[in-house]
Chains A and B, each alone.
Chain A
């Protein structure tokens, strides 16, 4: 039997890998992947904690909802990345620093 702790461990690992990717990667697509990893870590948590709600299955439902939302977000993010690439001819976030004052 896989205990709840194991799920949480995997989830933490996923989250940390995602966070690390977001902060260090030089490619917007990889950052997007990092975001997806963190999102999946959260979804994994939802599913793992869903075993305590067998009646309404609130955790599983919310996980499904989040997956759909993640897909939509990814689509929007990819579109933004595409547009950024069109404008700056790069998708390296270090080089796109026009957010600076």
Chain B
């Protein structure tokens, strides 16, 4: 940036920078705090987040629908390629900055109470702050390299948090799984970044994806990917897309890389709330938003298919799960599928809108789940029961015990289903309407996508109703299993209540649109230049009405089935039940095919290593040892032998001569005589 920025923009940049760095600062301060269970760490992290949230509100108010603010500085130069690092604030990053802060703040408050009795209270907040920092930095950086760095950091800190209770075998497995899955995505993203760099010679997001940027000037023609800075075979464009898709699929838990997300439930529930709402899974959709201009129509279709399939699959799985958090995890996958699909059908604004609304109600649902699990855990510990506190089969009738939690849960659940007067209605029906619109201009087979999406909406209605009914309605089933159970549970202190109320309110319509029934009026759309703002055709009326009426029926049906008013009409056998209950056998498939194959390969490699490489080395070593032994033998027997023989001769001679030195005078005389005689004899001949 050669021209000096006006003061206004500069202060915005500083505010954004401070909002990003405050959690990092809190993380570093917490690292230096003495004592293992220092309660100050929670306060420090929460305070940092509070200030960051306030700053992000200011930043948001200044940058929303204003010209983008972009500042950068030379970072380093490799050869003749300068690398810039900087901050980019446009509508997309501003709203995500705000969203992450606003979600992270209630989660921090909630965590101070939720983790109160944990042994590693301070470690938890160190990780949590690091996590928030990496996500905040991810959304504001302007370079693909930095983006990749923070992308990895988000994965790494989520790894730390998922495995926070690493002494549990399952948690350790889960975080390993999440990390490995994310590594696959990271490789994809890295490939994409390198491909883009090879084509455009820059990492700068504004230059690449900005208005009139390099991407918008390039085309794919006749199998050649032509850009302003050069051309490559078109296959590289698809490689870049596949890389991005892999990255998105891993981070945002899309098929086929979604299996880490349900397992990530092993982390503390407050972390799950953060991961599912704003910090981790949002990164994938955010990346799609950042690189959106590079996709061709064909690639967008693939995105739509992947998203739609993921949404549908996850919804069917959620139908039969019994673990409270697992149901929510699959609903997250399903909703993320909606977002990716929305990106694919060109509903860019709707996708981001859904990301925002989903963040609030999903966070609310997870915090509700946290309260419920916390109380169930209490009951379990007080009565020394052997139950899984997350299993919804033991719950029921909790609405009277936890009234506030119940209320928030219902609001958030309705938002998740997408019923009118909630935020979810506004965003989800936008996606559905645009999906139908989109498929109008496509081949008949593409009809499957809106149909799949609408089916998913209904399935969502059913499983969410099942969840709410099983947890909050009917009889408290634990009492049926253990009649003498003692319990006194409540909504908890203000650290529980305030976040729940905030998020519950944010799940309602007024925050996003003054008109509860027309999604087109939502203010977020104005920021992303949506083309679907006009009610151009009949779909805009039929679809919301039709979908919601059927949803209501389904909810009533599920509610009456699961509160026990009707007998269970589903047989818990059969192919579809097992398919859903075993999560489409995807994990088993991965274990059987991929994990086993990898293990086989590594075993084979280990065998090669052990037998061939080690064998070669060992045979070399043995040869050398043999040579050494031969040399030693030669040394001992030949070299030493010669000297031994010499010394032997000397010894024998000495010993022989010694006999003459007998000390007997007469012998000496005799020998003298003998010598003289010998001399005489010798001389006389």
Q: How far is the CA of A99 from the CA of B665 in the complex (A)?
A: 8
- Residues of chain A from 54 to 92 with CB closer than 8 A to chain B in the complex: none
Contact status of A100 and B663, CB under 8 A, knowing A19-B673, A23-B673? yes
Q: Which residues of B contact A22 (CB under 8 A)?
A: 666, 669
B664 with A94: CB separation less than 8 A: yes
A93 with B662: CB separation less than 8 A: no
B664 with A23: CB separation less than 8 A: no
Q: Which residues of A contact B668 (CB under 8 A)?
A: 99
How many CB-defined contacts (below 8 Å) exist between A and B? 30
Is residue B481 within 8 Å, beta carbon to beta carbon, of the partner chain?
no
Q: How far is the CA of A23 from the CA of B86 in the complex (A)?
A: 120
A91–chain B nearest beta-carbon distance, Å = 12
B661 with A101: CB separation less than 8 A: yes
Q: How far is the CA of A10 from the CA of B673 in the complex (A)?
A: 20
Is residue A98 within 8 Å, beta carbon to beta carbon, of the partner chain?
yes
Q: Which residues of A contact B658 (CB under 8 A)?
A: 101
Q: How far is the CA of A22 from the CA of B661 in the complex (A)?
A: 18
- Residues of chain A from 17 to 39 with CB closer than 8 A to chain B in the complex: 19, 22-24, 31
Q: How far is the CA of A99 from the CA of B662 in the complex (A)?
A: 8
- Residues of chain B from 620 to 666 with CB closer than 8 A to chain A in the complex: 658, 661-666
The closest CB in chain B to the CB of A25 belongs to B666
Interface readout for B657-685 with A: 1 if CB under 8 Å, 0 if not?
A: 01001111110111001000000000000
Q: Which residues of A contact B663 (CB under 8 A)?
A: 97-101
| Candidates A19, A24, A93; contact of B664 at CB < 8 Å | A93
Q: How far is the CA of A31 from the CA of B668 in the complex (A)?
A: 14
Which interface class (under 10, 10 to 19, 20 to 34, 35 or more) fits A? 10 to 19
| Candidates B661, B662, B666; contact of A23 at CB < 8 Å | B666
Q: How far is the CA of A55 from the CA of B664 in the complex (A)?
A: 46
Q: How far is the CA of A96 from the CA of B664 in the complex (A)?
A: 7
A97 with B662: CB separation less than 8 A: yes
The closest CB in chain B to the CB of A97 belongs to B663
Q: How far is the CA of A94 from the CA of B668 in the complex (A)?
A: 11
A93 with B673: CB separation less than 8 A: no
Q: Which residues of B contact A93 (CB under 8 A)?
A: 664-666
Contact status of A94 and B666, CB under 8 A, knowing A19-B673, A23-B673? yes
The closest CB in chain B to the CB of A100 belongs to B663
Q: How far is the CA of A101 from the CA of B655 in the complex (A)?
A: 13
Q: Which residues of A contact B664 (CB under 8 A)?
A: 93-94, 97, 99-100
A11–chain B nearest beta-carbon distance, Å = 17
- The A contact surface, by secondary structure, is loop
A93–chain B nearest beta-carbon distance, Å = 5
The closest CB in chain A to the CB of B661 belongs to A101
Contact status of A100 and B673, CB under 8 A, knowing A22-B666, A23-B666, A94-B666? no
A38–chain B nearest beta-carbon distance, Å = 11
A8–chain B nearest beta-carbon distance, Å = 17
Q: How far is the CA of A93 from the CA of B662 in the complex (A)?
A: 12
Q: How far is the CA of A99 from the CA of B663 in the complex (A)?
A: 4
Q: How far is the CA of A101 from the CA of B666 in the complex (A)?
A: 16
Q: Which residues of A contact B670 (CB under 8 A)?
A: 23
Q: How far is the CA of A96 from the CA of B673 in the complex (A)?
A: 21
Interface readout for B376-404 with A: 1 if CB under 8 Å, 0 if not?
A: 00000000000000000000000000000
| Candidates A24, A94, A96, A100; contact of B661 at CB < 8 Å | A100
Q: How far is the CA of A24 from the CA of B661 in the complex (A)?
A: 18
The closest CB in chain A to the CB of B658 belongs to A101
B662 with A100: CB separation less than 8 A: yes
B665, B669, B670, B673 — which one has the most chain A CB atoms within 10 A of its CB? B665
Q: How far is the CA of A22 from the CA of B668 in the complex (A)?
A: 11
B571–chain A nearest beta-carbon distance, Å = 115
The closest CB in chain A to the CB of B668 belongs to A99
The closest CB in chain A to the CB of B670 belongs to A23
B476–chain A nearest beta-carbon distance, Å = 113
Interface readout for B551-581 with A: 1 if CB under 8 Å, 0 if not?
A: 0000000000000000000000000000000
Q: How far is the CA of A85 from the CA of B668 in the complex (A)?
A: 21
A101–chain B nearest beta-carbon distance, Å = 5
Interface readout for B586-603 with A: 1 if CB under 8 Å, 0 if not?
A: 000000000000000000
B443–chain A nearest beta-carbon distance, Å = 120
Q: How far is the CA of A97 from the CA of B665 in the complex (A)?
A: 8
- Residues of chain B from 116 to 158 with CB closer than 8 A to chain A in the complex: none
Q: How far is the CA of A24 from the CA of B665 in the complex (A)?
A: 11
Q: How far is the CA of A74 from the CA of B665 in the complex (A)?
A: 18
Q: How far is the CA of A6 from the CA of B658 in the complex (A)?
A: 43
A23 with B669: CB separation less than 8 A: yes
A41–chain B nearest beta-carbon distance, Å = 15
Q: Which residues of B contact A101 (CB under 8 A)?
A: 658, 661, 663
B672–chain A nearest beta-carbon distance, Å = 10
Q: Which residues of A contact B673 (CB under 8 A)?
A: 19, 23
Q: Which residues of A contact B662 (CB under 8 A)?
A: 97, 100
B5–chain A nearest beta-carbon distance, Å = 109
Q: How far is the CA of A101 from the CA of B668 in the complex (A)?
A: 13
A13–chain B nearest beta-carbon distance, Å = 17
Q: Which residues of A contact B661 (CB under 8 A)?
A: 100-101
The closest CB in chain B to the CB of A94 belongs to B664
B664–chain A nearest beta-carbon distance, Å = 5
Q: Which residues of B contact A24 (CB under 8 A)?
A: 666
A27–chain B nearest beta-carbon distance, Å = 11
Interface residues of A (CB under 8 A from B): 19, 22-24, 31, 93-94, 96-101
Known: A94-B664, A100-B662, A100-B664. 15 other contacts (CB 8 A): A19-B673, A22-B666, A23-B666, A23-B669, A23-B673, A24-B666, A31-B666, A93-B665, A94-B666, A97-B663, A97-B664, A99-B664, A99-B665, A100-B661, A101-B658
Interface residues of B (CB under 8 A from A): 658, 661-666, 668-670, 673
Can you identify 12 A-B contacts, CB atoms within 8 angstroms?
A23-B669, A24-B666, A31-B666, A93-B665, A94-B664, A96-B665, A97-B662, A97-B664, A100-B661, A100-B662, A100-B664, A101-B663
Q: Please name the 4 residue pairs, one residue from A and one from B, whose CB atoms are nearest each other, closest first.
A: A100-B663, A97-B663, A99-B663, A93-B665
